[in-house]
Amino acid sequence: MSDSLLNPNETAPLAPEMQAQEPVVPQRNFWLALAAQFLLLAAIPAPAIYTLNTGTTVFLQTAPVDPYDILRGYYQTLGYDIADQAILAKLPGGEILKESKSGSREIFVTLELPPAGRQAAKPIAIARQRPTNLPSNQIAIRGIITNWQIRYEIEKFYMPETEQQNVNQNIDRNRRNLLVEVKIDSTGHPVPVSLWVGQKSYSF
């Protein structure tokens, strides 16, 4: 019998054009995912990356500045207890808020951290300069006072428009249980991480 005849138990070799080729889609997806991560990191300022990696996690009590105008447009302006001058004026160092100076000036509010859990930090003192040698359960957050308003550069919460209705409804059910999770680095600079509405969090 001719050697050119196939053994019934053997399979004929595939033509070169029909041979299995290595899939390229997974590799393409890998590079797309890598590029997306690079763009995400590139969009974050270097100081913010440093704070996110090295900062202390702190929870701050918050509420919408206008509780009847939640998330109109693409962001909502948040107010904080630590920006309430009526509260800060009663703390040690609170007299500096009464100083009449033009322009902006820097202040530091010392926060006392709760023993554990997701609870709001408590403001306990205010100063012109960053305090040093604080105990492990305290940290200072940097703020700017301008025209009698105190800002920490964490006041705007951005939210995709498609999610606004769900977030609005959740906030309406948890108006007294709103916290912002931030990272605060050794210089007092805060970076917002999440808005906690009850038991649900929304990333900044």
The tens digit of pLDDT for each residue in 53-104 reads 889 999 999 987 765 455 455 677 889 999 999 999 999 999 998 876 667 8
DSSP conformation class of 157: E
Which pLDDT score is estimated for 6? 47
> For 135-162, how does the pLDDT look when each residue is reduced to its tens digit (9 = 90+)?
999 999 999 998 778 999 999 888 777 7
At position 48, the amino acid (one-letter code) is: A
**CA atoms lying within 13 Å on the CB side of residue 147:** 0
Which of these ranges, 1-15, 50-64, 65-79, 185-199, has the smallest mean pLDDT? 1-15
Nearest to residue 58, comparing CAs of 134, 132, 122, 153? 122
Nearest to residue 190, comparing CAs of 87, 62, 37, 95? 62
Nearest to residue 113, comparing CAs of 57, 73, 159? 57
Which pLDDT score is estimated for 24? 47
Q: Which residues contact 183 (CB under 8 A, 6 or more apart)?
A: 51, 52, 55, 56, 57, 58, 190, 191, 193
Q: Which residues contact 162 (CB under 8 A, 6 or more apart)?
A: none
Which pLDDT score is estimated for 110? 98
What phi and psi, each to the nearest 5 degrees, are found at residue 130?
-65, 125
Q: How far apart are the first and last CA of the chain?
A: 77
Which tops the pLDDT comparison, 70 or 111?
111
Instruction: Count other Cβ atoms within 10 Å, centred on residue 186.
Output: 13
Which pLDDT score is estimated for 167? 82
pTM of this prediction?
A: 0.72
Which pLDDT score is estimated for 10? 53
